[in-house]
A and B are shown apart, each in its own frame.
Chain A
Amino acid sequence: MGSKRMSGWWPQLVFVGPVTIFFLLIMIIPFLLGMYYSFTDWNGVAGTVNWVGFDNFKQIFTNDADFWSSFWFTIRFTVVGVLLTNLVGFFLAYLLTKKLKSRNVLRTIFFMPNVIGGLLLGFIWQFIFVKGFSTVGDMTGWSFFNLPWLGDETTGFWGITMVFVWQSAGYLMVVYIASLTNVSKEVLEAAEIDGATRFQVLRGIILPLIMPAITVCLFLAISWSFKMFDLNLSLTKGGPFKSTESVALNIYAEAFQNNRYGLGTAKSLIFFIVVAVITLIQVRVTKSKEVEA
């Protein structure tokens, strides 16, 4: 009995131990430290750190309109972003599991944006929006291209959304493809013989069977769009006049630009709780919809 227990403990210690140590050092301890700082007025530099209790939270809830408007922006962005990335990702996957000659090439192409870093993508797209679009607009006279891209709230919002969808849909596509190819052929054939239409097959058979993939993809898209920082920074820097400032950018600016580190960590703590609650609910809801074939 004793040796059996040993063989259970040793592998765990050897294989999981080092990771746990690093996880503690790099994730948990900074996280706890951050929680501590959120109750202080530290400016990020000074040697003195004063405990201020709940003052930071009070200030956020009573006297920080910018934080809440950035929250509202992030929520709108998340709703639109999650819907669009999943729809685009799913339909790309749906099409690319059909018998197309070019499908391997297309899969690679659609996945490619995901390989490039967000900052780089942002700067490339900023150039396209500002220079490329206006040149096309001058040549064709189409009003779509003559909009002041990234120069007002609406175009700023949709500009970021477009790049975000373009970047992340490819990744979700891969997840959906893996799941779609696992849907058993027998069930599909049976449905076809029974005379189900293509839409009925999609709704009644494919969607329920790929529910695990939907859980994962929704989860990924939600956390990506909530945390979105690099695209925001490189495309608009939150501008013009903070109309496209995401929560992550607001927190960064509070901590490092306004030198109110304590306030910034307090905001990030609130943000963490909100995102945690939302993703927990999402995972629970979609999990309950998963079925076995």
Chain B
Amino acid sequence: MNKKMTMLSLSLVLAMSIVLSACGSSNESGGTAKGDVKTVTIFQFKTEIVEGLNELAVEFNKEYPNIKLDIQTVGGGADYGASLKTKFAAGDAPDIFSNGGYAEMEMWLDKLEDLSDQAWVKDLVPLAAEPMTKDGKVYGMAMNLEGFGYIYNKDIFAKSGITELPKTYSQLEAAAKTLKAAGITPFANAYQEWWLIGNQGINPAFAQQPDVNAFIAGLNDGSVKIPGNEKFADWAKLMKLTMDYGNKNPLTTDYNTQVSLFASGEAAMMQEGNWAQVQIDSINPDLNIGVLPMPLGEDAEANDKLNVGIPANLVINKESDVKEEAKTFLNWLVTSDIGKEYIVKKFKFIPALSTIIATPEDMGDIGTEVYNYVQADKVLGLQSSKYPDGVTQEFASVIQQYIAGKIDASAWETGMQGAWDKLKK
């Protein structure tokens, strides 16, 4: 009996250790000085640029032999956040890491170095500076711009006889009908992916509010409600449209399946952004594609905007021993010729600094379209980083209920409100 009890308690403690093991409180910086060479640790989550970053690190080391870069990557939303916290808790904090801006900046604020005096700050496009600006101080460098909307296949549109691009809900509905009649699936929906709906998809409903910051503040203090809001009602209609004219089983369709449905020409449109370009090219490089806005209601001018956001900003750990070296690297990244070249040619980024020039060939069809919208200032900023932590996942779960037909549009609005109320501070 005794032995069994020991085994029992041991296993139970083991069970808990999964959740509890990340505790700890010491706070030391990670950079270690070995002789004259100093190491700057970079912790980031863009798995697709790891190779390029490592090449860049070699180039950087040639110019600055005294600074060595150690690049560590952990991919994917929540996992990155959890590992970053673990690293800080374990006293192994990186010198440079990524931050999403707005609410996430607030959360990490007491670890962030003020970068306002850096030379590149004045070159940030206004949209890119905003997420990391607080009380007039800039705390991070935007890595790139990412834009999304409904990516569409120009050839299919032309073949089906759609000459005028849909800019309003009813025009989009008409286009979807035409496409369906031509035997093509109008929308490829990957509604299994929480980020596609809860983080990005819902964005127009927020960003099209007359004053989005006031709207979000109102949600937080309870003076504004989602149920009854016109933009959300319009959004529910738009969502319904993509479901009615979409592929079957949208809730088990993932990002890869969606992109291959689109790239193979089975579907004419999909809600995605310029990050999908590389993947589309790998399936069908000759595809002729553009980006449509996500229309809410019938105002063509208000709708003719793409959603654009900053996926990540590089920030510097205030407690790092090698702050100056880290600043040197950030500066070199966006000012040196080789750094600039890597950003546009190798990473295929839409640059967030006005001093970096990208050509349409570098950015691809989607990127160019997004870039043009940014230049024309026809953008809806990505709002998700302003929401309370965890709301985007919570939104996704409510939207999935709506997609599955568990709840109707008005219950959906109530559910969205409930998600917000549960997580607001």
Enumerate chain A interface residues (CB-CB to B < 8 A): 26-28, 30-31, 33-34, 37, 43-47, 63, 129-130, 134, 148-152, 215, 219, 223, 226-227, 229, 237, 239-242, 248, 251-260, 264-265, 268, 271-272, 275-276, 279-280, 283, 287
Contacts and interface: CB of A to CB of B under 8 A. Distances in A.
B393 A253 contact: yes
Nearest to A284: B1
A256 B20 CA distance: 12
A258 B403 CA distance: 24
Contacts of B9: 276
Contacts of A148: 249, 251-252
Contact of B390 (A215, A240, A257): A257
Contacts of B22: 44
A187 B14 CA distance: 40
Interface string B7-49: 0111111111111111110010000000000000000000000
Contact of A223 (B15, B17, B85): B15
A256 B88 CA distance: 14
B389 A257 contact: yes
Given A148-B251, A241-B397, A272-B12, A252 B19 contact: yes
Nearest to A155: B252
Interface residues of B, number: 50
Given A150-B252, A257-B389, A31 B8 contact: no
A241 B401 contact: yes
A255 B192 CA distance: 23
Interface in B75-93: 78, 81-82, 85, 88
Given A30-B23, A45-B107, A227 B17 contact: no
Q: Which 8 A-B residue pairings sit nearest by Cβ, starting from the closest?
A: A258-B390, A34-B20, A151-B252, A241-B400, A151-B251, A256-B82, A33-B23, A259-B389
Contacts of A237: 194
A280 B8 contact: yes
Contact of B21 (A30, A47, A223, A256): A30
A253 B16 CA distance: 15
Q: Which has the most chain B C-beta neighbours within 10 Å: A28, A63, A251, A256? A: A256
Given A152-B251, A253-B393, A279-B8, A27 B27 contact: no
B404 A44 contact: no
B53 to A, nearest CB: 25
Contact of B16 (A151, A258, A268): A268
Nearest to A129: B252
Interface string B241-278: 00000000101101001000000000000000000000
Contacts of B396: 239
Contact of B23 (A37, A219, A227, A241): A37
B123 to A, nearest CB: 30
B110 interface: yes
B398 interface: yes
Q: Which has the most chain B C-beta neighbours within 10 Å: A30, A149, A219, A283? A: A30
A43 B88 CA distance: 13
Nearest to B251: A151
Q: Which has the most chain A C-beta neighbours within 10 Å: B12, B107, B194? A: B12
B252 A149 contact: yes
A31 B16 contact: yes
A134 B111 CA distance: 49
Contact of B17 (A31, A37, A130, A251): A31
A275 B11 CA distance: 11
B192 A265 contact: no
Nearest to B403: A240
A36 B423 CA distance: 22
